[in-house]
Structure 1
């Protein structure tokens, strides 16, 4: 064993250990380290006494302050549920106009409605409600069954061509497939329907084709879409003059629509969503038009 000696440079004693000519100094732990270790230990003991700390089989030391995080979380959940129940009741029992005039309730509607819409409606209508081919946009004013709060709420309740006993029902005939119109007549009808939109939208059709198409329209389509082709919300028949198309307004798509017919579907949300949730969705859909 090497003998202790004093290091001539630092003046500290060595431990007597030497490795390849390097001698280990007997350097004490800095007092600041001892201080903070002692302080940390003291704080730990205080926490053990005040707060829940040590497991004891099936239980644990409770601490003299009686703090229980599980009880705290439970209480917060109960408080949140009570708060939710209060505004849910307000929304369920309130009329649409009074709710829309209340900024606080509408903030809740937008927050909760976005989640409800995303979970239940966005798969068809898109996350922003702008629709897509075969699915109507909910952000414009082109409504099949009406765009006021009462009409939207009823559509959500009973659905369209759904299994609900009171469902809204609408189906367009397959004029070509069922041989109600010839291919030539369908072509004339397409020309007429396209002429109803923006001026100059159809530069391939002659005046004679459009005239024949108008006659075919009056005989076969006006009973649903109206003599002016502006639609009928009582039957869910769309307006053909507003250039808002569910399936498309080009010649090929219109020909397919008239030839094969259309029958859109939307599920009934009664039973799947509560009255309050459907009210929130109704108000949220109305708010999409405000953006």
Structure 2
């Protein structure tokens, strides 16, 4: 017969656990039944899951985890989903190849597929230079507007993507070259100063030296107008930028304009047709075209 005497808390009439801290006793209240039922259910579920699904890690002599009686495998499921996705993309990619760029933009399902694929390809291949969303950077054109050095049409953008700019290994690449007027000794420093003054003037900024502007205009007509046009408005056919606006690829400050004339700026762009498949090129063209507002 036990000598243990139950300790009952007088205010509540509940048995205590015998634990006491600073005069405070712990009541021995039972857990709520609903809580116990949930606990029992989770134990039962875990046992069933352990039997049915891969659960236990590698055991001695087994060499791998338990496979479960249902034979489920996340790796197999993922591989199956990837194969299904590839199959769906193949179907969509075939439809993309069979459609013209204009048809892609008017077919909602094709356009959605092209936009998604183009955005992904742009992030992987183009955003490093042109920035996320085609916002551009110094020396890298902004694609989120309709100011184009070459063509901004769907076909024109696809051509640029496929053949690149000044890509030495592609005979169909877009190609233009600006002379280094100062470095190659074609103009003196004073003449380059005058041309820079004229370019500043036609872009709507006050130079403060009308004589320099007049001299620069004469030099511009003789040396630069063949590409940039008589009025400096540019020529997309040869990739010559418009000099009368406020859009500057390599900076529009006077010193930067001077340096461009002195040293020339002839950047390069890869010929993506050598690296990406036709469907991806088309998707990129549609995506880039959408960034600029759709010329």
TM-score after normalising by structure 2? 0.80
Higher mean alpha-carbon deviation, 106-115 vs 243-252, is at 106-115
Task: Give deviations 1:228-270, integer Å, cap 9, x for gaps.
Answer: 3222222211122232211122221111111112211111212
Q: CA deviation at 1:284?
A: 1.0
- Which residue is 2:126 aligned to? 121
The answer on whether the counterparts of 2:55 and 2:67 sit within 8 Å (CA) in structure 1 is yes
Q: Look up the match of 1:111.
A: 116
Q: Give the Cα separation in 1 of the matches to 2:126 and 2:242.
A: 23
Query: Counterpart of 2:280?
Result: 277
In structure 1, what is the Cα distance between the partners aligned to 2:279 and 2:126? Answer: 16
Checking the alignment, whether the CA contact within 8 Å between 1:158 and 1:164 is kept in structure 2 is: no
Alignment of 1:170-181 (within 5 A): 170-181=176-187
Say yes or no: does 1:192 pair with 2:198.
Answer: yes
Q: Alignment partner of 1:128: what SS?
A: helix
TM-score by length of 1: 0.81
Quick one: distance in 2 between partners of 1:18 and 1:130?
A: 69
Contact 1:163 1:267 in 2 (8 A): no
- Give the corresponding residue for 2:145: 140
1:45-73 deviation per Cα after TM superposition (whole angstroms, max 9, x unaligned): 4445554556771464542x554444333
> Any idea what the Cα deviations from partners look like across 1:264-288, whole Å, max 9, x if unmatched?
1111212222211111111111111
Q: Distance in 2 between matches of 1:138 and 1:209?
A: 35
Q: 1:170 to 1:61 in 2, by over 3 A?
A: closer
Partners in 2 of 1:255 and 1:28 — Cα distance?
Answer: 87
Alpha carbons of 1:3 and 1:156: their partners in 2 closer, same or farther (altered >3 Å)?
Answer: same
Tell whether the 8 Å contact from 2:225 to 2:232 is kept in structure 1 after alignment: yes
Match of 1:168 in 2: 174
Mark the CA change 1:4 to 1:184 in structure 2 (over 3 Å): closer, same or farther: closer
| Residues 9-48 of structure 1: per-residue CA shift (max 9 Å, x gap) | 6899999x999xx9xxxx7976947755654444344445
Runs of 5+ in structure 2 lacking a partner?
none
Looking at structure 2, the residues matched to 160 and 4 of structure 1 have their Cα atoms a distance apart, in angstroms, of: 94
- In the alignment of these two chains, the number of paired residues is 284
Q: Matches of 1:54 and 1:252 in 2, distance apart?
A: 70
Q: Distance in 1 between matches of 2:131 and 2:249?
A: 13
| Cα gap change, 1:213 to 1:89, in 2 (>3 Å) | same
Contact 1:175 1:261 in 2 (8 A): yes
Aligned residues of 2:145 and 2:293 also touching (Cα < 8 A): no
Structure-2 change in CA distance of 1:51 and 1:155 (3 Å): same
Q: Is the partner of 2:134 in helix, strand or coil?
A: coil
Given the alignment of the two structures, is residue 268 of structure 1 paired with residue 274 of structure 2, yes or no? Answer: no
- Residue 45 of structure 2 is matched in structure 1 by 43
Displaced runs of 4 or more, over 6 A = 8-15, 27-31
- Structure 1, unmatched stretches of 5+, are none
Per-residue displacement from partner, 1:185-216 (whole Å, max 9, x unpaired)?
Answer: 22221222222223xx124131x332322211
